[in-house]
Structure 1
Amino acid sequence: MSLRACGMIIFRRMPTPDPSSIQFLLLQTSYGEHHWTPPKGHVDPGEDDMTTALRETEEEAGFTAGQFQVIDGYQRELQYKVRGRPKTVLYWLAELLDPRAAVQLSDEHQDYRWLGLEEACTLAGYADLQETLRDAHRFLTDNAQQ
């Protein structure tokens, strides 16, 4: 059986008029290899994907649904194996409305960082997550110029 997880790629816009004004939130796990990812987690029985993404974002980063806006038209699905089992992760893209809002980590994470695209990709480590971050950044900058 495939594992399923959902989460939010949270970003904020800093008051500078260039692409580096977009910063992504990555959380560092307090377990395993201490990898860095956006807030995400497993779907609970009877829970739909968006409910999972909202719950995990609140549990892991402390942001409630009223603190960010989910961006229309952006959803990405990653598929990979974890300890030999297939896993599917769905990500939505969401803008933090107050760029100064404080992150409140759960005990599942030991650190967080707000990072520009290249720094976020360096920390993200996994190629599929790096490509997802680049894709999200392209989506935001392309739509901003229309």
Structure 2
Amino acid sequence: MKKVPGQTVKAAGILLISGEGTPAHFLLMRHRDRWDLPKGHCEDGETFVETALRETEEETGIPQSAISLDPDFQFDLKYQVTYKNYGDLPFEKHVRYFIGFVRDQPALTLTEHESAQWWAWDPPNAPIQSETIDPLILAAQQHLS
């Protein structure tokens, strides 16, 4: 997708939770210097849900058919970003996260991350990433309780 200054860049991802009925674990992906969730940019004409499912499958190898999205939860974040190819021009980024449930802890095929880890679902976990992951987990905990 070609970006235009002033344009809102859309992205979506999933907080994957294992366990049937009661959350047991959640998945975090490891970049070189931080933890993250499976997520990515929306392609032209793609909905947030379509993006979240596609990106999660691409980054984890978990098929979309194995993920059950919570229809009553979405968590939106908006913040400014810059991209190397666009110099210092600011873009607004709008990321929508969903809760997705999977049975057990499926085997992962990582394509964009160094590693991944299933963390025990015991919010509040130690601070992980204060701008995105921590508030998302808190909102998910409140929603699920």
Distance of 2:69 and 2:25 partners within structure 1: 16
Please say which structure displays the higher CA radius of gyration: 2
Corresponding residue of 1:115: 119
| 1:14–1:23 Cα contact (<8 Å) kept | no
Matched, 1:88 2:94: yes
| Residue ranges of structure 2 left out of the alignment (5+ in a row) | 1-6, 83-89
| 1:44-55 matches, cutoff 5 A | 44-55=43-54
Distance of 1:130 and 1:110 partners within structure 2: 21
Corresponding residue of 2:143: 139
Corresponding residue of 1:29: 31
Describe the superposition over 1:80-123 as per-residue Cα deviations: whole angstroms up to 9, x where unpaired. Answer: 122342111001101112x13111111x210111113344x523
More helix by share: 1
Normalising by the residue count of structure 2, what TM-score does the alignment of the two structures yield?
0.79
Corresponding residue of 1:70: 69
Aligned with residue 13 of structure 2, among 7, 18, 40: 7
Q: Secondary structure at the match of 2:141?
A: helix
Distance of 1:41 and 1:137 partners within structure 2: 23
Distance of 1:104 and 1:137 partners within structure 2: 27
RMSD between aligned residues: 2.1
Corresponding residue of 1:100: 105
Q: Count matched residues.
A: 130
| 1:26–1:36 Cα contact (<8 Å) kept | yes
Distance of 1:138 and 1:126 partners within structure 2: 17
Distance of 1:110 and 1:3 partners within structure 2: 25
| Residue ranges of structure 1 left out of the alignment (5+ in a row) | none
Amino acid at match of 1:24: F
Shift of 1:63: 1.0
